[in-house]
Structure 1
Amino acid sequence: MSVLDETGKRIGRARYTAAQGLRSAWYGAQYMIAKRRSAGFNRPGEPPFKPQNPVDTKELRAAYFRLFAQDRANIEAGLYPAPEDVRVADLGKAVRRAGYFLKDVAEVDRRRVARDGVEVRETLEGSNRYPAYYRQNFHYQTDGWLSDESAKLYDHQVEALFTGSADAMRRQALAEIAREVKGRDQREVALLDLACGTGRFLRETMRAFPRLDARGLDLSPNYAERARQQVAPWPHVEILEGQAEILPLEDASQDVIVSIYLFHELPEKTRREVMREAARVLKPGGAFIIADSLQFGDNEGLDGILEYFPEGFHEPYYKAYLGWDFTPPMEKAGFSLEKTENAFLTKVNVWRKA
């Protein structure tokens, strides 16, 4: 390696460290403010919540920094470009989003204390468009997933919750996409971002591989519209509206399917249906990349913190997910596990269709 190349790497590392440090401080500060404004995990008339497994704070911190070290290593290896989400020009928008987030904390906290996670059902009465499991205020967020305001605020909420690490965790799935695309004509690789949400991850995917034959699918029309805005620079990318368990796609039409934080928010029956649908639309040899929450035993030092999520947020299927074994239903659907890797509080699995 030349001196010039080494100098460029050092500059890149310095920029990355400064940008990610700034993001972590920015979102971490908002998390602390939100935490101070909330009533916590305990509820009137109930015994104080205590996790059965102690939280290893040293391991929590170490896993956090390992994530960013791996993210930077992936960038240096050319798997995907450095993130472009820390810009002075975006400061005004960031401040406004922070204001909306902190303003909504009181409403989220009210639902948490009252255990009111199905408020959104009142607005959907008489509608058969959404399955029953979907008609909830997941995370206690205002409007659930069914308003433009929720779609605008969602990514900011997630980053604040994970103190600026959410995008870096998602990018570990992007590294697996890079390995699938390597040596192939991007135009001939069909990719589906399953439950694409606001399109944040799909946008990063297109930044890395702008010629991919890509599409996203989400059940929320508001989030799907937000996703269309995110991927507007790539007009060939299509955003579909529909259920993950009833995919509007032809058999054996996709080379890669990626799912980010979907399965822990599904009841068990629906998880199995999604697996079967993924197997149906994937080509033989295709990859199903699943990035989702850690489960019990993936990193025992962090088991305790996993117990907090269903207590602090409306996650009706999360407790069952923590001990659920993916392997039997995935193998029954025709998949074999090829790779698994932890990324802080996320686990990335690569499943291959036979």
Structure 2
Amino acid sequence: MASPGTIDTRGSDFARLAHRIADAGLLDRRPFYYAIRMTVAAVAYGGGWALFAWVGDSWWQLLVAAVLAVIFTQFGFLAHDLGHRQVFRTRRPSDAAGLILGNLAIGLGWGWWTTKHNKHHANPNHEDHDPDVSPAVIVWSEDQVARSTGLPRFIAKYQAFWFFPLLTLEAWHLHVASVKALFQPTAKRRGLELGALLVHFVLYFGAVFAVLPPVKALLFLVVHQGLFGVYLGCTFAPNHKGMPVLTKEDKLDFLRKQVLTSRNVRGSLFTDVALGQLNYQIEHHLFPNMPAPNLRKAQPIVERYCQEIGVDYLQTGLVESYGQALRHLHQVGAALR
């Protein structure tokens, strides 16, 4: 792949692609699709907790924890689509549904996450502007390794091996970050969001400890939140990790900035459902408000167009996407070995 800073940029390229996508009707809303998807998700959520209550004091609850981890992640995918206005055109219904699915149902702060995710979309894989590649624990570039200290520097040496174990803590990190963000001066809807998170945590921990004895309850929490974090991480890791990390030296137009830092994961309908259709990451980054079911239809249009204008377009299998990401992380830490 060519170095991002050496690629010629032409501002009109995205406009021509956008015309093709609009002419194909792929930016049109899909209300019937989302009505069905939300209904299925709500039934699954209620059914999962009903199963938890029915199983009761049993080691089978660890299997129920795994099932609920899948359901929680699917709720996260829906909240993601709401954040991009893929479901509703206006902010009010998007925010209302996002608070229910995010704060109340799975304990993730809607306002904090959408703000953070929008910054990521504006500057994907940019080490100065993308919060998803900030060197909090994992470091993403050799420059970040050189500047790292403390825990990130210790982890970076063999961070490819630490990556998946660390994902077991990701859900806990998101819960804590959601609460902490509401105590920042810039927080919006502080009372509403904090109240919804509080209701979630009271009901969640109350149900777990009311049904299960302490040891089983703690193991349930470890399995449920651990798998929730791993599933979320395994969904987002293939999208950008191992792709070029941009710096202030890279001057790219919108289309190249989004395409060259993103990776698609090819697969079947099962892959689309399992990954929340975020495996069409290039199309999603180019058209973030495109309804998720239209991304598959947009993919060949975008790929052909990138070939026409000479922009590298990367699509690979799921396992290989993880391989590329992990090899990148291992290479980044080489200087410390």
TM-score by length of 1: 0.23
Richer in helix (by share): 2
TM-score by length of 2: 0.24
